Amino acid sequence: MSEPRSELATAFRRLRWVFGGLALISGVVNCLALSGSIFMLQVYDRVLSSRSEATLAALCVLVVLLFGFQGLLEAVRSRVLARIASQVHAELGPRVFRCVLALPLRSAIEDDGLTPVRDLDNLRNFAAGPGPSAFFDLPWMPLYLLFVFVLHPFLGLLATAGALVLVGLTVAAEILSRRPQRVLAAQNVQRISLGLAGRRNAEVLRAMGFGERLTARWLRLNDAFLAEQRRAGDIVGGLGAASRVLRLLLQSLILALGAWLTIRGEVTAGAIIAASIAATRALAPVELAIGQWKSFVAARASWRRLAGLLQALPPPARPLDLPPPVAGLAVEQLSVAAPGQRRPSVRNVSFKLQAGQGLGIIGPSAAGKSSLVRGLVGVWPLLSGTVRLDGAALDQWDETALGRHIGYLPQDVELFAGTVAANIARFEDEPDAAAVIAAATAAGVHGMILRLPDGYETEIGEGGEALSAGQRQRLALARALYRDPFLVVLDEPNSNLDAEGEAALTQAIRGVRARGGIVVVVAHRPAVLVGVDLIAILRDGALQAFGTHQEVMRGRRQPGPARNGPPLAVVEDRKAGVQ
């Protein structure tokens, strides 16, 4: 059974009738391109011998019209190719960007994560450029060679030999450019990754003075990248120069051969010029293809990466809309791994929560707490097990519909450039102003927002740079509470909060429980656990204890097997004063 056609191929295949029209236009253009050769043949062999000015005038008018029509058709072809490129880009753009958003949740990202978007741009730029025109013209090379053969077989053989040499140069460009392009792609990823790491840690580099050493590392990578880029450019540039010189040489050789044949009386003087023009036109698409080979290789690599990505991340099927969850959360034998990893960071965790309950997850560092909550909200892949809301597994929900019922505050808070209100409303097209204010009030940030320069319409900048760390965290809490989601998951929500912020956080947790929602909180500081009624202790990715405060502090382990004696996490939390 043949493999299913990629989405890229399908997008272009839907335009096959347009490509058929372009092929027809290219055929007419290439037939009209013979006008120059035929014109010169007629001028030298008919007009000069007859000395007829009327014939010359008629030929001039005709050739002007033919060349004008040819130019019009080439302009139409160029505009159609540009519109094809734009249409495919517009059709696949949303799909590719969704893959950009999903890719970090499926595998480790080595570069800035926007390679698929750049790949789509590469395809659009190549499709809208002169490269496709060269490929449309290549099948018409035999027409020009046949025309030269008609003038004289020796001229045709010489033109064919030149065409074969140029085709050989094209094949050489393909073979010699493969490895440099692969190396360039890998080196570019390393270069970009190091640059992004430096940008993220600019404060650390400046404060501790090792920015110069990081710059030296980047320069070594950049020098290697530039050296490989020069090698690749030398290959394509050298072959391009060779093709141009060969075309000029071939033109001169055809003139010389034509002159010799004219001396022998085998061709007319007009045939010399006509053969030279036709041979040059025959070789032009090959020369253009060699000149565009670098763009073609880059576009082909982009095609392969995009096709593989779209196949690896197929669009999810639209499931049946489920009613909003109101009853409970069930975690069944859950094992979670980081994207791109097979080793689980959380293993075989099971528990249940009912509406109105709050769970605090505690444990030593690297116990798997953040991994667990990422599995709960469906952002990290599940190796095994299931997370259910009212009995329905998370994958039975439409992603957008599910997000309406989940509020998530990650450990590393990220906000987006825009207004305070837009960030709280999750950038809805038509946000509910009352719901925005209600979420801010529930998070205890309504007063803080009103003190900002423009209140809810204050622009916070990229990443929320206009706000302090505590303000960003509280604003992200309001975003998590927007429209009263059923499940609210908070990962270290008090890491940047002062006493006032912690009090507001506790009140927000109690508010979610009071309205019948479920709250899951990861905490190192015990103050936030005042608002929850259940405690879970993780150690080495396994659930060591689960129950009420009193049950956990007495060392009762629910569920399941654990080591003899109280878990280490319980001892640590007793020392920390968790009640």
Shared domain check, 242 and 304: yes
Q: 245 near 146, Cβ under 8 Å? A: no
Q: Which domain holds residue 39?
A: 7-312
For residue 68, count other CB atoms closer than 10 A to its CB.
Answer: 11
Mean pLDDT of 449-464: 90
pLDDT tier at 578 (50, 70, 90 boundaries)? very low
Beta-sheet pairing, 328-336 with 382-389: antiparallel
Percent of the chain with pLDDT over 90: 33
Mean pLDDT of 10-25: 88
Q: What was the pLDDT predicted at 359? A: 95
Q: Is residue 371 part of a domain?
A: yes
Task: Spell out the SS3 assignment of 117-174.
Answer: HHHHHHHHHHHHCCHHHHHHHHHHHHHHHHHHHHHCHHHHHHHHHHHHHHHHHHHHHH
DSSP 364: S
Is 544 in a helix, a strand, or coil? strand
Element (H, E) at 77: helix 53-102
160 vs 164: CA distance, rounded Å: 6
Is 392 in a helix, a strand, or coil? strand
pLDDT tier at 179 (50, 70, 90 boundaries)? confident
The pLDDT tens digits of the residues spanning 378-409 come to 888 889 999 999 999 998 988 888 899 999 99
Q: Is residue 201 part of a domain?
A: yes
pLDDT reading at 567 higher than 90:
no
pLDDT reading at 109 higher than 80:
no
CA dihedral (354, 357, 362, 366) positive or negative: positive
290 vs 241: CA distance, rounded Å: 10
Domain termination residue (choose one: 284, 312, 340):
312
DSSP 326: -
CATH for 274 = 1.20.1560.10
For residue 369, count other CB atoms closer than 10 A to its CB.
Answer: 26
What is the rounded average pLDDT for all residues in the chain? Answer: 84
Is 385 in a helix, a strand, or coil? strand
Q: 322 near 22, Cβ under 8 Å? A: no
CATH for 460 = 3.40.50.300
Structure tokens at 38: 């035929």
pLDDT tier at 164 (50, 70, 90 boundaries)? confident
Is 415 in a helix, a strand, or coil? coil
Q: What was the pLDDT predicted at 408? A: 94
Q: What was the pLDDT predicted at 196? A: 72
pLDDT tier at 175 (50, 70, 90 boundaries)? confident
Q: 118 near 97, Cβ under 8 Å? A: no
Shared domain check, 240 and 162: yes
CA distances from residue 347 to 126, 136, 537, 561 in whole angstroms, order as listed: 48, 57, 13, 13
Q: ∠ CA(355), CA(347), CA(314), 5° rounding? A: 80
pLDDT reading at 293 higher than 50:
yes
Provide the residue count of the chain: 579
Is 518 in a helix, a strand, or coil? strand
Percent of the chain with pLDDT over 70: 93
Domain termination residue (choose one: 285, 312, 339):
312
pLDDT reading at 548 higher than 60:
yes
Main-chain phi, psi angles of 250, to 5 degrees: -60, -40
pLDDT reading at 535 higher than 90:
yes
User: Can you give the pTM of this predicted structure?
Assistant: 0.74
Q: What was the pLDDT predicted at 36? A: 86
Q: 339 near 105, Cβ under 8 Å? A: yes
Shared domain check, 94 and 239: yes
Q: Tokens 């950049």 label which residue? A: 222
Shared domain check, 529 and 463: no
The pLDDT tens digits of the residues spanning 195-217 come to 777 776 776 677 777 778 888 88
Shared domain check, 423 and 362: no
pLDDT tier at 568 (50, 70, 90 boundaries)? very low
187 vs 204: CA distance, rounded Å: 25
pLDDT reading at 565 higher than 70:
no
Residue 576 or residue 216, greater confidence: 216
For residue 539, count other CB atoms closer than 10 A to its CB.
Answer: 21
Q: What residues contact 444, with CB distance under 8 A and at least 6 apart?
A: 474, 500, 501, 503, 504, 505, 507, 508
Domain termination residue (choose one: 468, 484, 500):
484
Mean pLDDT of 24-33: 90
Q: What is the number of structural domains in the chain?
A: 3
Shared domain check, 245 and 113: yes
